[in-house]
Structure 1
Amino acid sequence: MHHLQHVLLSTLLVLTGYLAFQHQQLRVDVQTLTTLQQGSASVLAETLTPIATKIDAINTVTSKIGKEADAASNQKLTALQQRLDLYKLIGTLNQANQLRAASKGAEAAEKLASTKKPIWQAGETFAAHKAKLQGLMGTLDKLIAAWKSGDTSTAPDAVSKVLEAVLGELGNEQK
């Protein structure tokens, strides 16, 4: 029995030595991996920091370009809408002229009067044409007064011609 204990103790001693050696090897491997991981993290940080800075700069530039493009687009749309409003005014003038031709002077005068404010505002919008557009107020007042009093002999052709001329000039400015 003594011999069996000796074998078991020897085996236990060899096994303990083997496990201690394996434990030491694993500690070295874990320490190597930890060092590599820290090195990789530091390399990634050094690499990604400039990239993140560049991405932020790109985002700033693209955001600015997007805002400028939106502003330019809105400005073009506004100008187109204002030109469209001038075309609508010509349509309203034509309606007033049809009422005048049908000897409906009061209705024609009312329709013609509804164009004064939009024409005045168009003069404010299109500063280069302000004098022409706002200069129509006297002509419009005379036509309105005449039509209300029953004199429907004069057509609003002069007003239409000025609006068409302004639209033509605006069209040439856009090109």
Structure 2
Amino acid sequence: MPRRALALSKVYGLLEPGPVVLLTTAHGGHRDIMALSWHTMMEFEPPLVGCVISNRNHSFGLLKTTRECVLNIPSVDLAEQVVGCGNTSGRRVDKFARFGLTARPASRVAAPLIAECFANLECRVVDTRLVPKYCFFVLEVVKAWKDAALPPQTIHHLGRGEFVVSGEHLKLKSKMK
């Protein structure tokens, strides 16, 4: 199979680790939603998630101040709202209102859940040592919620407005429980 060189700026589209999530934060009566695809699992128990949030994003300051958030996992039917949240700054816009999303109270953090998402992970920041250099936060999931239905199709960002929708589910023999 012939190969061609790939621009280094496109490498991340090959390695995106998981579905696009909607990260919610809240502070001082203000709440925000940002689309996030640069995240990775770091540990199973307790569940730790690492994520990169640019210090140019409004959510960066909210997360740094409050040290808590919710990772809301949308299905493909929310793709337009996900892209809208990703292309809009929350500094002056209520993204819940603009994109027709419903905020629900979380049980362990002040940031809201998004009711339309099939799963919600309430998180607290547990490590900020890599924030100054890489804007990399380590989050501990302290409460998790999931719709009882079968897993829906998720969206995965490839860059520059392109996405892949998760496909067929496979169940193969594994030693992991």
TM band (smaller chain): under 0.3
Please give the TM-score of this superposition, normalised by the length of structure 1.
0.21
Higher strand share: 2
Please give the TM-score of this superposition, normalised by the length of structure 2.
0.21
Higher helix share: 1
